[in-house]
A and B are shown apart, each in its own frame.
Chain A
Amino acid sequence: QKEVEQNSGPLSVPEGAIASLNCTYSDRGSQSFFWYRQYSGKSPELIMFIYSNGDKEDGRFTAQLNKASQYVSLLIRDSQPSDSATYLCAVGSRSNDYKLSFGAGTTVTVRA
């Protein structure tokens, strides 16, 4: 079992719709969770981080964390064509917070 699993893509949504991305992790003691966006051929850039159970909103992005279920998600509201990218879920190790384990990513395409 991989440490971090993301829902398989690609995910295609119409412009203006909500894109929902899911991620599960295996290390129950993990404390830090990150969502990165990676455009094709580019490096990952941080969108959001979340440490506590519940929701965290930043503009059109909402991260949701449920540590009991070992589940973290990202919602993109009012999706735009510029949101088309691969979204990477990353989880900090319980013993070494700096050590991020990444999922394979979910590719999102927003149709104009």
Chain B
Amino acid sequence: GAGVSQSPRYKVAKRGQDVALRCDPISGHVSLFWYQQALGQGPEFLTYFQNEAQLDKSGLPSDRFFAERPEGSVSTLKIQRTQQEDSAVYLCASSWQGLETQYFGPGTRLLVL
């Protein structure tokens, strides 16, 4: 079946703009994760959903970051008033349940100028 998809694949934003990143998990996957990956680093956990419930948002770097998954499927990561330090690849992953294999999407590469 189809894997995790993300859109857009690339996003250039001017500092101060708001951006929205979309993730379509694998159909039927209960768990959904967002990660931030800076150049040359491993992914850093941002937030975790089980169905529509956001169970952990401890990794969100500031209150400018907001994620939702209103119907338990598609998720959106929103970054308000983007800053240059927000430039990174944002990865979405999904799994059947939290502990099992996480399947990653292709990521959205965000560049804030």
Chain A contact residue count (CB 8 A cutoff): 21
In the complex, are the beta carbons of B101 and A49 less than 8 A apart? yes
Interface residues on B, range: 20 to 34
The answer to whether A17 has its CB under 8 Å from any CB of chain B is no
Query: Which of B42, B91, B107 meets A103, CB within 8 Å?
Result: B42
Q: How many pairs of residues, A versus B, come closer than 8 Å at their CB atoms?
A: 48
Alpha-carbon distance A103/B41, docked complex (angstroms): 7
Q: List 9 tightest A-B contacts by C-beta distance, closest first.
A: A102-B42, A98-B98, A43-B104, A97-B99, A102-B43, A44-B104, A88-B42, A104-B42, A43-B106
In the complex, are the beta carbons of B98 and A43 less than 8 A apart? no
Q: Mark B76-107, 1 if CB is under 8 A from A, else 0.
A: 00000000000000010001001101111111
Could you write out 18 A-B pairs with CB less than 8 Å apart? A42-B106, A43-B91, A43-B107, A44-B91, A44-B104, A90-B42, A92-B99, A96-B56, A98-B95, A99-B48, A99-B56, A100-B43, A100-B102, A101-B45, A102-B42, A102-B43, A102-B44, A104-B40
Q: Which residues of chain A from 12 to 55 have a CB within 8 Å of any chain B CB?
A: 32, 42-46, 49
Q: Which residues of B contact A92 (CB under 8 A)?
A: 99
Q: Which residues of B contact A88 (CB under 8 A)?
A: 42-43
Alpha-carbon distance A44/B33, docked complex (angstroms): 13
Q: Closest B-chain residue to A32, C-beta based?
A: B99
Q: Which residues of A contact B43 (CB under 8 A)?
A: 44, 88, 100, 102
In the complex, are the beta carbons of B48 and A98 less than 8 A apart? yes
Alpha-carbon distance A45/B43, docked complex (angstroms): 12
Given A44-B91, A92-B99, A99 and B106 touching (CB < 8 A)? no
Q: Closest B-chain residue to A90, C-beta based?
A: B42
